[in-house]
Amino acid sequence: MNYYITTTLKTDFQTALTLTKEALKDEGFGVLSEINIQEKFNEKLNVDFQKYTILGACNPPLGHEALTAENKAGVMLPCNVILQEIKPGIIEVASIDPFTSMQIIDNDELSRIAKQVKDKLENVIYTLEGENT
């Protein structure tokens, strides 16, 4: 069972990042955090690393529902979406599968909410795949 949802885009990294943020917004997600791993590894470890960014995405209404259903679910929020440059012009976009990850918590209401979030993240990935054709 995969713990992520993924697609590959044939574009440059910045365009993929912009398209991903737009697709997230269209599904009701805001980006709470953006971590440029390439920059951080260079700064902290003095190592070169491929272009790799982690977006912390949250759908506020569903986040609220999840925390109301299970107040410790916040340890698994926000939903991370990554972009990594496989090679120039080939960018992988992957998102956590929240339904799979939330299965470790025995709470039917939380599972229902996680399924809704998964559906929205799948829509993000499908939208990006459509941009790629």
pLDDT value of position 133: 60
Closest to 104 in 3D by CA, of 75, 61, 82, 78? 75
Q: What is the pLDDT of residues 71-129, one digit of tens each?
A: 999 999 999 999 999 999 999 999 999 999 999 999 999 999 999 999 999 999 999 98
The pTM for the full model equals 0.94
What values do phi and psi take at 83, rounded to 5? -125, 130
With cut-offs at 50, 70 and 90, classify the pLDDT of residue 130: confident
Contacts of 63 (CB under 8 A, 6+ apart): 77, 78
Average pLDDT of every residue of the chain: 95
In CATH, the architecture of 4-131 is 2-Layer Sandwich (3.30)
